[in-house]
Amino acid sequence: MPENVPPRVPVSAGDVARLAPATGSRIAVVGAAGGIGSALVDALTAAECEVVALDLPASLAGWQPPAGVLSIPVDATDEASVSAAFARAAECDRPLDGFVCLAGFTAPRMSLAQMDPATFAEVLDGNLTSTYLTVRAALPQLRGDGAAVVLMSSGLGQKPAPGYGPYAAAKAGVLALTRLLAAECAPAIRVNAVAPGAVDTAFLRGGTGRSQRESGFNLDAHVATIPLGRMAVPQDVVGPILFLLGPASAYMTGQILHINGGLLMP
């Protein structure tokens, strides 16, 4: 980086809210109480959208959402829990204009040779099965004339790193699921994904809900590899999600937005 040029300060939640869907849009967010999720909920409510926030009971218990947000507990890996949560969301007589799935977590970093099958399956369920179950439940509630779905993948889904086997495999599955759903739901519903690199939230320590385990992530070493010279913060991901939910992306479906400061340039 040239001397005396500090890293650019990320935009505020108020700034990214200008990208949001139309005032009054009804948006459901799974994983709403996490670092990115809570920032997204703040931006959507600032844009006067109606938000349905879904997350694990323990995550919702430690979160204070903005006024007017409907909070619904859900275990996104459990079919019965997902069905019950979306049945409650459907009690409102208005369809959803958008759906965002941010559910997911990682396990402590280790090689596949060291990892036990139960941990592999747990991470796969927490990232891929949870996405499938929740988007399947959301689709019937989405209006069929231009609603938008945004799924959460990761740069590791395209370029896996040693030690993140089940997470990389699950997020690669989300990329495939995005493209499949985009084809199956067109032209009524658009389906896109974001694929961030590491974001400076509690997720880097293993998660904020189901998992509280140390992930072994080295922030300082990671920043040294990023061309833009800083860690991502939640607002860096919120802006692209709002764009994919809103009218400015009306001719986009089946696309993946990589958000990583230049670390991965596919």
Contact 78, 52 (CB under 8 A): no
Question: Phi-psi region for residue 223, left (φ > 0), alpha (ψ -120 to 50) or beta?
Answer: alpha
Contact 149, 190 (CB under 8 A): yes
What token pair was written down for 88?
């409650």
**CA-closest candidate to residue 204, choices 105, 56, 75:** 105
Q: Find how far residue 114's CA is from the centre of its chain.
A: 28
Contact 192, 255 (CB under 8 A): yes
Beta-ladder partners of 180: none
Instruction: Compute φ and ψ for 150, nearest 5 degrees.
Output: -125, 125
Q: List, in sequence order, every beta strand (DSSP E) within 21-67.
A: 26-30, 50-55
Contact 249, 98 (CB under 8 A): no
Which residues are catalytically annotated? 167
